[in-house]
A and B are shown apart, each in its own frame.
Chain A
């Protein structure tokens, strides 16, 4: 904490820590590959590392997945900067999804209105953990987890009972998922601006750029504005912020709302691409939870989150290519291990600071060598 002189360059230590964590994650992933199917381990790790850049189509897929990841990552990161842990990304993401599809498929509104609705939905879902924390001092983690499940079942219930949103209403044979949005309302599909032709992939659209824009906005809010100054002050030292006259309770609620809006927007972005349909299942979307490693890997820095989301999406695309040599579940395990190990940057930070200190100590020993021998 207060040790090395490198301390004064936390950005550098943070970056170094992230890279070390990623490296260790990959080494661990390699071992996992070896355990499950030794003969393909070498080829497997190469696939994970190169697949995302192997073709235009694959790269498009990387960008496509990175956009919603970036949003849930920003959601976690933003809350973290203000001293809150938003583990409710999944729930907020789902409510965002619901609002986006309701506005797009049922109400036939254009994509930007749908995205706005997704944000508002997510923000609404963020209010609850914020409010409980501010008013009753209930830990936001507990409320957020509860609201993940409430959100999931509420959304499933609502979709099941809204026939006009389901796939079979638009001629498909199944009723367990939402409609193909291209068929239901093409104007709700996020524009591709011809990039789909360029990349030769229907996954390609402007969502990645929208997400980058949001990341930049969040960066500006946190680092440059009066509002960000207040939020960070609350995060660092709530008592001092109260002393300064900042309304800390209100800020807790607003922070969670913004975090919720970001996650909700993630849901909207993903399901308005025109390539995904929401399936009514009893599982929380991994996208929500994956925001946590994305944020941790980037030390909650909004610009860093752009890159960490890209990285994790890249690894995921690489992982998909491991089939059929590895079963789908095993691929999931391996990828999850890499992601979560990569997120141990906090641990790495401690290690690196320690190592740097050690180096300082060695220098000292050199100086001390002479007197040491004297005394012997």
Chain B
């Protein structure tokens, strides 16, 4: 039998203003996990979208088992046994898990859905691969990790043998990532072949057999992961050495910028409080990190601080002023910036251009308007400056529609906008989600620079590496409360893990 199950040969895909894939050749061997690595905007998602039939390439051919095939749309891909989990999930939110899984591949008898049969097949699959899901839950009500499992089940339900994962781990917690890695290994053991996009080199080293590196649309080469190192991979990808740990001096915290007193916030989905009686302070010149397993109230805490959700009780004091009831606009003007956790939900207006998105919080300021009219040249100039400074890559610069931009570059745009807002307090939730190592290095440096300039930074991250590298002080959140305060220099990832799982706690409250 042919060794390569999939071969993409000399693929060229052009978008107006940009060659996203330039003569790229990649071979996926039967039964391997093949990683795809490259900077943000290098063309990884585009290449996979070509394989999945979402884009028609200008040049090149695709071979399956040595035979040339034509993939015009995702139906063709499915017929060839190719499935894909997209960088941004494609689920119907008011459908149940089961409905989503069978959508487009329904078994029908006399015009009626045969749900019982489908249910059995899905249940068997989820059993076999340990993909735990509640088949009758609505997508809206389940966690991101569970949504991911739904996406995987969708592929398995269609008996796909080539599985494409586009940055599957960007949204997951460390635990979920480990589970996913195991599932991927099990899938390969079952004879599936996997194409895997990730920016996290540890993951690639851990599960992938081989890795192909793209840079600016071109294929740089394919290496065996057993014969390479993280450093080598990142150099191949960015073209220079990358520092994984940002160098920083000790913090010099001064005045209190933010003080939270006994803050409680209602749950988003249930009536149970998701944050209760939380108190802490953030000072000028320090990076305070809130660590915790996803869903322990971090999101709600941030929403209450930024004004997206109301506080149920307690006080938020910002620069000596009670802002608990303040509008979002006034909080922003007062000096709070916010990198939101989900770039598509809150962070961007996807149908606006990059330039319009970069002024999302400034469009009304006198620099960008003239008697009620938007000063487009000024907006353009400002956008060009940020694009240059933060290396935001897209096909048409400031005029690219945000929707057409690569995930990592969308994220860079949000981070650029918020840091450049020049806030007194920067609330950064997973700021580097989906970014390549080079970009992460740059953003981490920027955040430290902000700190050194006397800004207060509240970082919320699920990634322990980021927590340990960046923060000056760690607060651990568990079941809506703060269960511990740790010094990153004197703690270990293991200890942090114990606090995060609720196994350990120290009382934070100062004696009154």
- Where the two chains meet, the residues of A that have a C-beta atom closer than 8 Å to any C-beta of B are 2-3, 5, 7-8, 224-227, 229-230, 232-233, 236-237, 239-247, 357-358, 360-361, 363-365, 367-368, 371-372, 375
Is A372 a contact partner of B68 (Cβ separation < 8 A)? Answer: yes
Shortest CB distance B159–A (Å): 24
Query: Which among B60, B61, B327, B373 is the interface contact of A225 at CB below 8 angstroms?
Result: B373
Using CB atoms, name the residue of chain A closest to B73. A357
Is the Cβ of A229 less than 8 Å from the Cβ of B356? yes
Mask, B311-342, CB within 8 Å of A = 1, is 00000000000000001111111000010100
Bound together, the chains give a CA A371 to CA B66 distance in angstroms of 11
Set A226, A357, A368, A371: member contacting B372, Cβ < 8 A: A226
Q: A226-B364, A229-B356, A237-B349 are in contact. Are A368 and B61 (CB under 8 A)?
A: yes
Closest chain B residue to A233, Cβ basis: B349
B360 engages A244 (CB within 8 Å): yes
Q: Which of A2, A5, A240, A364 contacts B54 (CB 8 A)?
A: A2
State whether the Cβ of B158 lies closer than 8 Å to any Cβ in chain A: no
Return the contact of A236 from the options B72, B333, B349, B364 (Cβ within 8 A).
Answer: B349
Q: Quick one: which of A242, A360, A363, A368 contacts B308, CB cutoff 8 A? A: A242
A361 and B55 CA atoms in complex are apart in Å by 10
User: Which one, B54, B331, B348, B364, contacts A237 given CB within 8 A?
Assistant: B348
What distance in Å separates the Cβ of B108 from its nearest Cβ neighbour in chain A? 24
Contact B373 A243 (CB under 8 A): no
Cβ 8 A contact of B374, one of A226, A245, A372: A226
A243 touches B328 (CB 8 A): yes
Is A225 within 8 A of B70, CB to CB?
no
How far apart sit A226 and B332, CA to CA, in the bound complex (Å)?
A: 18
In the complex, the answer to whether A5 meets B15 with C-beta atoms within 8 Å is yes
Q: Tell me the complex Cα distance, A365–B69, Å.
A: 10
Contacts of A242 in B (CB 8 A): 308, 328, 346
Interface flags, B282-312, vs A, CB<8A=1, else 0: 0000000000000000000000001010000
Which residues of the partner chain B approach A233 to less than 8 Å between Cβ atoms?
A: 349, 352, 360
Decide: A245 near B329, CB < 8 A? Known: A364-B70, A371-B68, A375-B66.
yes
* B396 proximity list for chain A (CB < 8 A): 8
Can you sample 15 A-B contacts with CB below 8 Å? A8-B16, A225-B374, A226-B373, A227-B372, A229-B356, A240-B349, A242-B346, A245-B333, A247-B327, A357-B72, A358-B72, A361-B70, A363-B58, A364-B59, A367-B60
A residues within 8 A CB of B15? Answer: 5, 8
Chain B CB count within 10 A is highest, among A2, A3, A8, for A8
Contact present for B361 and A245 (CB under 8 Å): yes
In the assembled complex, the CB of B66 is this many whole angstroms from the nearest CB of chain A, namely 7
If A224-B374, A236-B349 touch, whether A2 touches B404 (CB-CB below 8 Å) is yes
Q: Which residue in B70, B361, B403, B404 is a CB contact (below 8 Å) of A368?
A: B70
